[in-house]
């Protein structure tokens, strides 16, 4: 993402209190077109409250939400048509069919009858439910409901897709399918705001991550930027055949390798960015006739980042 990429969502100084509890405290962030931004935090951190204010269903006490430069609030209607909102629970009508659900929400978004028919057919294809479109949603599996639920948010071709923990309570297979769908949508230029407390998902999907704790945005950046906050190094463990001492010396000559130590048949390397320097390490060792049997990379993850920033585990 470059600085020239247009901002689809701008949140500035968002605050929300419920009685004596500050749910969201001065949160600001932006999302560009084609960018997936993850709000990472434990349950109760304020993610859903932020999402609700972005979607225009909860009034903020202070601050502003702009979607494509247009302010969003509970009183506005026009900018809501630019947002595809996918709440946490499958918000569908179980006694209507999948097609009837989609048709209703499409019409509610202001689509004409023709456009509705076209978009409903397209979305059913995208979420893989075309063959079950005329079954009642009450007869769908959890994964199918979740996919249809996601599809509702895409009906009106929004500029911003807001997803509130879309994989919560979903089986691993459906979760993978949903994550793949979201990644495809981002590639298509959609700006995505995504909340999760699954660190792996955030790492897999999000271009940037905002770490939320007790209603505050305590850190923000790419995964690499966040990990850099820890000042921790990546570790590469190599199981090798050949002259281990020679391999160690060769590894130490690689500029990105900060340290190397032979241990039994293994060679442990300390590096800044394991993913970036691994190809160079492997080719250097090959040149030294050292055969690498297995590679293990140990890099600080967002879980570690969260622990470092908040003193608490992400999933407590």
Partner 1 sequence: MRAALLIAAKDLRQRLRDWSVLVFTLVLPLGLGLVFSLVLGGVTSGDDVFRYAVVNEDGGPVAAVFTDRVLPAAAEGGAITVRTAASRDEALRLVGSGEVTAFFVLPAGFSARVEAGQAAAVEVVGDVDAPLGTGVARSLAGSFTERLTSVRVAVAAALRSGSTRDPAALAAEAAAVPDRLRAVEEPASRRELDATTYYAAGMSVFFLFFTVQFGVTSLLDERRSGTLARLLASPVRPSSVLLGKLITSVVVGTAGTAVLVAATTVLMGARWGHPLGVAVLVLTGVLAATGTVAVVASLARTSEQAGAWQAVVAISLGALGGAFFPVAQVGGPLAAISLVSPHRWFLRGLADLAGGDVLAVLPAAGALTAFALVAFGVAALLGRREVRR
Binding residues for partner 1 (CB under 8 A): 52, 55-57, 59, 74, 77-78, 80-81, 83, 85, 87-93, 95-96, 100, 104-105, 107-110, 152
- Closest CB to partner 1 among 74 and 265? 74
| Listed residue (238, 239, 232, 271) closest to 252, CA to CA | 271
| Listed residue (133, 147, 145, 152) closest to 179, CA to CA | 147
In angstroms, give the least distance from the CB of 75 to partner 1. 8
In angstroms, give the least distance from the CB of 193 to partner 1. 13
- Closest CB to partner 1 among 167 and 310? 167
Instruction: Say if CB 27 and CB 51 are below 8 A apart.
Output: no
> How many CA atoms, within 13 angstroms, populate the side-chain half-sphere of residue 89?
4
In angstroms, give the least distance from the CB of 53 to partner 1. 11
In angstroms, give the least distance from the CB of 161 to partner 1. 12
- Closest CB to partner 1 among 49 and 310? 49
In angstroms, give the least distance from the CB of 54 to partner 1. 10
In whole angstroms, what is the distance from residue 156 CA to residue 151 CA?
10
- Closest CB to partner 1 among 53 and 199? 53
**Strand-strand pairing, 21-32 and 7-18:** antiparallel
CB atoms under 10 Å from CB of 114, counted, come to: 8
In whole angstroms, what is the distance from residue 110 CA to residue 121 CA?
17
- Closest CB to partner 1 among 59 and 312? 59
In angstroms, give the least distance from the CB of 155 to partner 1. 10
DSSP state of 136: B
Please list, in sequence order, all residues whose beta carbon lies within 8 angstroms of the beta carbon of residue 12, skipping any fewer than 6 positions away: 28, 63, 64, 65, 66
- Closest CB to partner 1 among 88 and 176? 88
């Amino acid at each position: 993402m470059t600085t020239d990429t247009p901002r689809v969502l701008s949140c500035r100084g968002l605050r929300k209190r419920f009685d004596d509890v500050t749910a969201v405290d001065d949160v600001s962030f932006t999302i560009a077109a084609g960018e997936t931004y993850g709000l990472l935090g434990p349950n109760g951190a304020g993610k859903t409250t932020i999402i609700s204010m972005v979607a225009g269903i909860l009034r903020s006490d202070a601050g502003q939400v702009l979607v494509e430069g247009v302010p969003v609030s509970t009183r506005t209607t026009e900018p809501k048509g630019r947002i595809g909102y996918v709440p946490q629970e499958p918000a569908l009508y179980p006694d209507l069919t999948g097609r009837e659900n989609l048709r209703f929400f499409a019409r509610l978004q202001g689509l004409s009858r023709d456009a509705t028919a076209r978009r409903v057919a397209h979305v059913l294809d995208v979420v893989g439910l075309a063959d079950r479109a005329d079954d009642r949603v009450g007869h769908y599996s959890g994964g199918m409901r979740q996919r249809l639920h996601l599809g509702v948010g895409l009906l009106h071709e929004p500029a911003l897709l807001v997803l509130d923990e879309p994989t919560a309570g979903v089986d691993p297979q459906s979760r993978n399918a949903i994550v793949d769908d979201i990644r495809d949508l981002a590639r298509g230029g959609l700006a995505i705001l995504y909340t999760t407390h699954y660190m792996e998902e955030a790492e897999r999907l999000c271009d940037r991550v905002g770490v939320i704790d007790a209603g505050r945005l305590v850190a923000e950046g790419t995964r690499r930027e966040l990990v850099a906050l820890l000042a921790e190094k990546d570790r590469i463990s190599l199981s090798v055949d050949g002259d281990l001492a020679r391999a160690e010396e060769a590894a130490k000559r690689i500029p990105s390798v900060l340290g190397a130590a032979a241990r039994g048949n293994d060679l442990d390397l300390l590096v800044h960015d394991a993913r970036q320097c691994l190809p160079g390490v492997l080719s250097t060792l090959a040149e030294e006739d050292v055969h690498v049997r297995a590679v293990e990379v140990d890099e600080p993850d967002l879980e570690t980042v969260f622990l470092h920033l908040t003193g608490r585990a992400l999933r407590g």
